[in-house]
Amino acid sequence: MSDPTMENISLNGSVRWAAARIGWTLNKFRQKRDILENDGFPKVDRITNLYVKADVDAWINRRRQLSDNAVLRGSALEPLKEVNFSAL
């Protein structure tokens, strides 16, 4: 069965999409949904009965442990160095 919410054009996602977005099987997602929601994972929209994809992505982003300006090199964190293209 096709799930149109798996397409990028859809701004809302099914339970199947939400599970895939966080890298879980549908069964694991259903089993642990209460734990996720207690940790702030968004609930389905009452009107569409779908997840708002931007809300799910915002939850994932809040859980990030590294900022965009840090990269892992070997075993040490180093800030990204900006390149002055005008000097080239």
CA–CA gap between residue 72 and residue 82 (Å, rounded): 16
| Count of Cβ atoms closer than 10 Å to residue 27 Cβ | 9
pLDDT in tens, 47-62: 999 999 999 999 999 9
Q: Token match 């929601």: residue?
A: 37
Average pLDDT value for the chain: 87
pTM above 0.95, yes or no: no
Angle at alpha carbon of residue 73, lines to 68 and 76, rounded to 5°:
90
- Please report the pLDDT score of residue 75 as a whole number: 53
Whether residue 10 has pLDDT greater than 80: yes
Lowest mean pLDDT among 4-8, 49-53, 76-80: 76-80
Whether residue 85 has pLDDT greater than 60: yes
